[in-house]
């Protein structure tokens, strides 16, 4: 990861780490980089944060100052930007969002012409330009100055695309949607209404500061309660930019990304749609998912944490389904990034075509208790290379006798070591974690 760009773009507190000046320079660079003697065409979407408007205008100013045409989708989802870029010939796309973070954070997600996260080498060049003391890019003048163009039509085409993917009517299905006061507020209900569902919506009144606040995919309790109290058939919760989705079954039970992969993986396998009979997961996926896949005769692969790595693996190997426990699920035939609304449509497909309920479809999946503990350290690299720490983690996993695991990894953005345990009970998880963290403390690595 670079100075500004991490695994999910340029993210930080608005007007602290991510300022209007930096956004302007990102626009300046992209407009020049993709110009190549012609006017670059770059599309911008944003979520509902108050700072998204400021950053949208700063990006547009930078793009047009470099001679590019800036197409504005306005409030929309990250996957819609990806869709518009790859289907309508744009040079690249920019999504202004900090995903599930609080409203005061924001971010810039850069998307290449194939609809995937932009290459690291371009991000590195942007960082160098941001930090350069001298202006190295020429300004466009006269008729070469770019324009901003209203492009809500692109968002509408994306909505039409989602509707076209449904294989069955949702008539008589009572569906709850938690739009997280974010991007899904502008899209999700219209899709479900068009497909005939009886749609019940919560957290769909964004005011610029309430995005993700006690709602959405990171706070499932309101949707669980809403589904049970209103006797709904199913519920879906999205994050701020709607690139991920978690579900709630008819009993109010949360169905996480692992369970979604299980339901959709089995459904696709039964219909011959699961390419190479393989689902791509990350190292954070639950051991219970793998045991269920083994029983269902489905193969799987693991990647590092981040939907970027899942997508790379899928594209390289020709797989059709992959995702993360957090709800980023990629259906590569239809999208090149996680798409929360698409994911909910695919779950609906599995339920309706299977003439079943989500609770029934997940009943054979037994997820193990999973506990994650973060320990702040003075030097995470020293910890990750310490033979005693690694030996403690190995021994703790061996003590679980094949019915659990220990995962030790360092944070990509903070001086933290993350110790995750999976086992048959929470007690066993805590005991296993303590065996590892005790060694870290005794060796003096912990930062108090």
Q: Which residues are identified as catalytic?
A: 99
The separation between the first and the last C-alpha atoms of the chain, rounded to the nearest angstrom, is 26
Judge whether 150 is annotated as a binding position: no
Q: Residue 148 forms beta bridges with which residues?
A: 70
Q: How far is CA 325 from CA 207, 261, 297, 370, in A?
A: 29, 9, 20, 12
The values of phi and psi at residue 163, to 5°, are -60, -35
Candidates 238, 227, 173; CA nearest to 204 is 238
In angstroms, rounded to a whole number, what is the distance separating the alpha carbons of residues 139 and 189?
43
In angstroms, rounded to a whole number, what is the distance separating the alpha carbons of residues 58 and 198?
40
Residue 410's SS3 state is: strand
Candidates 313, 303, 334, 308; CA nearest to 111 is 308
Q: Supply the Cα-derived Rg of the chain in whole angstroms.
A: 23
Q: Which residues contact 281 (CB under 8 A, 6 or more apart)?
A: 258, 261, 289, 290, 300, 301, 302, 303, 310, 322, 323, 324
Which letter does DSSP use for residue 14 in this model? Answer: B
Judge whether 8 is annotated as a binding position: no
Q: How many CB atoms lie within 10 A of CB 306?
A: 18
In angstroms, rounded to a whole number, what is the distance separating the alpha carbons of residues 225 and 231?
10
Residue showing tokens 């504005």: 72
Judge whether 399 is annotated as a binding position: no
Judge whether 233 is annotated as a binding position: no
Q: At what angle are helices 50-65 and 20-33 packed, to 10 degrees?
A: 40
Residue 402's SS3 state is: coil
The binding site for Mg(2+) comprises 99, 239, 241, 243
The binding site comprises 99, 239, 241, 243
């Amino acid at each position: 990861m670079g100075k500004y760009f991490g695994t999910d773009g340029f993210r930080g507190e608005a007007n602290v780490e991510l300022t209007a000046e930096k956004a302007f320079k990102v626009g300046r660079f992209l407009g020049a980089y993709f110009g190549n003697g012609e006017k670059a065409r770059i599309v911008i979407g944003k979520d509902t944060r108050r700072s998204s408007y400021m950053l949208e205008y700063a990006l547009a100013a930078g793009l047009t100052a470099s001679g590019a045409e800036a197409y504005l989708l306005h409030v929309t989802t990250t996957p819609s930007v990806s869709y518009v870029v790859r289907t309508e010939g744009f040079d690249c796309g920019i999504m202004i969002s900090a995903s599930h973070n609080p409203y005061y954070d924001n971010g810039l997600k850069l998307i290449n012409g194939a609809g995937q996260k932009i290459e690291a080498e371009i991000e590195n060049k942007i960082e160098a330009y941001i930090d350069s003391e001298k202006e190295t890019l020429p300004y466009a003048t006269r008729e070469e100055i770019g324009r901003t163009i209203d492009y809500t039509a692109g968002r509408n085409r994306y909505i039409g695309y989602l509707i076209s993917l449904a294989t069955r009517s949702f008539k008589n299905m009572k569906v709850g949607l938690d739009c997280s006061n974010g991007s899904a507020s502008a899209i999700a209900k219209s899709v479900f209404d068009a497909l005939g569902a009886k749609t019940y919506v919560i957290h769909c009144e964004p005011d610029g500061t309430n995005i993700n606040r006690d709602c959405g995919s990171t706070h499932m309790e309101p949707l669980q309660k809403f589904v049970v109290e209103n006797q709904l058939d199913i519920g879906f919760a999205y994050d701020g930019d709607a690139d991920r989705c978690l579900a709630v079954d008819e009993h109010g039970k949360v169905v996480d990304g692992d369970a979604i992969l299980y339901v959709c993986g089995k459904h696709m396998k039964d219909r011959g749609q699961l390419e190479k009979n393989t689902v791509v997961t990350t190292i954070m996926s639950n051991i219970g998912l793998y045991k269920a896949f083994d029983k269902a005769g489905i193969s799987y692969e693991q990647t590092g944490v981040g939907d970027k790595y899942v997508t790379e693996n899928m594209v390289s190997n020709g797989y059709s389904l992959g995702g993360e426990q957090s709800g980023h699920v990629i259906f590569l035939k239809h999208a090149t990034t996680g798409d929360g609304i698409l994911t909910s449509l695919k779950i609906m497909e599995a339920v309706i075509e299977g003439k079943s309920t989500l609770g029934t479809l997940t009943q054979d999946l037994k997820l193990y208790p999973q506990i994650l503990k973060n320990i702040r350290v003075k030097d995470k690299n020293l910890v990750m290379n310490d033979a005693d720490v690694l030996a403690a983690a190995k021994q703790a996993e061996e003590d679980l006798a094949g019915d659990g695991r220990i995962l030790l990894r360092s944070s990509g953005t903070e001086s933290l070591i993350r110790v995750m345990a999976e086992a048959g009970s929470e007690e066993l998880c805590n005991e296993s974690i303590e065996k590892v963290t005790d060694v870290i403390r005794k060796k003096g690595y912990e930062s108090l």
